[in-house]
Amino acid sequence: MAGKVFFSVTMTLDGYVAPEISPADIDALRGGETTPGLKQWMGQWSKLQAWVFGQRFFRENLKFGEGGEEGRDNAILEETFHRTGASVMGKRMFDLGEVSWPEEAPFHTPVYVVTHEVREPWERPGGTTFHFVNDGIESALEQARKAAGDRDVRIAGGGDTILQYLNAGLVDEFSIALAPVLFGGGVQLFDGIDAARIGLQQTGAESSSQVTHLNYAVVRT
């Protein structure tokens, strides 16, 4: 039986899943340079994801060493990882990750990148292979489903890619880790959502000392 399609993101209290970053700052990151815009982006991103960085599973998966927190936040990260048989992401997320992920990328499954760029698959140590899909989000999802088998497909991001899958009626469920952070601007998760076509059913909520985890099933209306 085919698995579900889901996404799992951290979001600020004012609705943003990432700071805004300019193409020039992405180029600077690729070149190993630092710009004021890049410093600001990294500072905001670090605040948003602070709850993740100290977890044991995160540290072990990225080879940051032993130790780390082992509570419910850690368990949720581990559960999300193990349910995922393949991932889909947009080109912008890949561009940022290509220069910041370690050599052994943290997915350890096939990843399908929705892009206009024609490129051969990029295989990394540890089981991650990036496949570049040039014919749309449906094709990327179909390929990811085949690769995932009976496990789930995660729409990894970024926000625009998640929104496209939501509006196309292709997401079954999602979870949001709501962080006590305010951005005042950036990449808004639901900006442009086709609200008339999408209903939500809350399936769970639990809090830790750092974030509130909210889980939803998507109901097509």
- CB distance 144 to 88 below 8 Å: yes
Region 26-30 average pLDDT:
83
Region 104-133 average pLDDT:
96
- CB distance 157 to 191 below 8 Å: no
Region 154-183 average pLDDT:
97
Cross-strand partners of 131: 112
- At what angle are helices 91-98 and 23-30 packed, to 10 degrees? 30
CATH code linked to domain 5-220: 3.40.430.10
Region 97-124 average pLDDT:
94
- CB distance 72 to 204 below 8 Å: no
The whole-number pLDDT of residue 28 equals 85
Region 103-116 average pLDDT:
95
User: Quick check: 17 pLDDT over 70?
Assistant: yes
Contacts of 98 (CB under 8 A, 6+ apart): 30
Position 65 confidence tier, pLDDT thresholds 50, 70, 90: confident
Least confident of 33-42, 182-191, 202-211: 33-42
Q: What is the mean pLDDT of the chain?
A: 94
Q: Delimit the domains of the chain by residue range.
A: 5-220
**pTM score, whole prediction:** 0.94
Position 29 confidence tier, pLDDT thresholds 50, 70, 90: confident
Compute the distance between CA of residue 215 and CA of residue 50 in angstroms, rounded to an integer.
Answer: 20
Sign of the CA dihedral running 90, 96, 99, 100: negative
User: Quick check: 99 pLDDT over 90?
Assistant: no
Q: Looking at beta carbons, which pairs linking 180-183 to residues 24 or more positions away fall under 8 Å?
A: 180/13, 180/210, 180/211, 181/12, 181/13, 181/47, 181/48, 182/12, 182/13, 182/14, 183/12, 183/14, 183/16, 183/19, 183/44, 183/48
User: Quick check: 1 pLDDT over 70?
Assistant: no
User: Quick check: 83 pLDDT over 70?
Assistant: yes
The whole-number pLDDT of residue 77 equals 97
User: Residue 16, Cβ neighbours under 10 Å: how many?
Assistant: 24
